Structure 1
């Protein structure tokens, strides 16, 4: 198998008939000697926007919708400023295609209903609603930041719907491609857009950007983010002050503190790189408990400022999510 990645359509009708599907995706270009593209090989070589066509519904009329999947939040204010704002931006960019929403966290769905009387749909419920309303083609947009455990869930729950729609596409998360073989470096794109919310830094000021962290191998993206930060610092001084860490993965705060001390920083600004500024941002990062990141840093002699805003509040980041939605919709409408 070649390792170059580019926009290709791998044609193998025999393999397609085994799955009852057709795809138009970014994929590894298979070696020409591969004559029988098995369903397993096709799925394994699929990268980028995933698209599925259901031949059993080929004669059904096209009626398109966008479904935004998000973990959700119980924090009402940040929901309006982030999740709702991103969905509105996607809708504004595609005024003729309605935007629907699904929460992947059942716990959050229950809490929002109990607290606010608002009913949020699960992905399964949202797909059922779309089918009942006659939609035949659905572009699914994930508000995940990296392709970790949550994005895997989005992918699986989407693929379970393949027999219910004429065509389904699944967008990539905020960061996916890393500049391999001519593909965009979306990690650098993210950082350049995130920079708009960085404070000015003097020699003793550092910025710690807080990710979620995951046991999924996708956690390795955080190491890539730090590597790109270090690379960008060679030409843009602001990045020489920036360190990534996570709540539930590596690197964590204890990995970063020795680096801050080595560089002689005295003041640290903490900011989340999560869609919403929810429990992790308000409590784990900025809370008053002794084990919060703010308290831990203060105990080590640093003065600490907190920037409690989710990524969805940043217009530049919202535009990146609009791009992801547009990519999925473009593949859906081919």
Structure 2
């Protein structure tokens, strides 16, 4: 009996140490012990009039397009219709304009991407999360409005997050999880399982373009379209991928570790990557449940050289009192727009010289 009790105690001690180590590692990997120092070489003002400005992309003419959805209302079980706004950065007194006020179907936009052809036609595709499943919604600009073209759906759209258009019909889209159930998704996150993927849509069908990813979040393409950039929130890396010319699968060429919960990716006119990020992932999860809980916001600029070298710079960091849960950073001239997953505003910042 004595030896039996000793064995039980030993097993319990080992289990206790294992659980403690797992909790400690999870907290460390999530950035819980990071020291946050707010800084920005410029000035920012808050722009109100929308909820959940999660993704922002800016057209060449300076019109920002903002994907907005009140996710707190959705979590409360009382979802309200999401919107895509325009915001003209060349206007001295810009106003938010609802571009999707005419649509009649359920709309909760997430990631967005645009494509402009040689004739000037602009198309916008948006990830949409509805009560009946996930879809991609296709729009075209018409008379300062977004006119709906079609709804694209497929069982492979397990958990779509962001997308990047290659032309008027084809695109890549990230599935940030590889499982459908809440338990499965939680297991992927806390056990840091690489089960997610990226899909390619050829204009008619979806195909798996890349697998084995750890929460692939943002996706974008280089200025010439030959390279695809993917951010992994749990992996905390930017994956640089080339495209197979025959089947459009993605081939990993390089990974850049940035030690932060990376979200959406936007490019400036020089090809630099601007990334909205969550430096403390657990703080962001607390913020998602309670608006009073602040989540630090971070913007990283990543410059990738022709020889493969790179330079990363933290352009913006804030404890979360100015903006909590930053998800995107988009640049036009000397203006920087920073959006967030849940907030009721975004930041319009002017970069320092």
Please state which band the TM-score falls in when normalised by the shorter chain: under 0.3
Q: Which has the higher helix share?
A: 1
TM-score by length of 2: 0.23
Q: Which is strand-richer, 1 or 2?
A: 2
Higher relative contact order (CA 8 A, sep 6+): 1
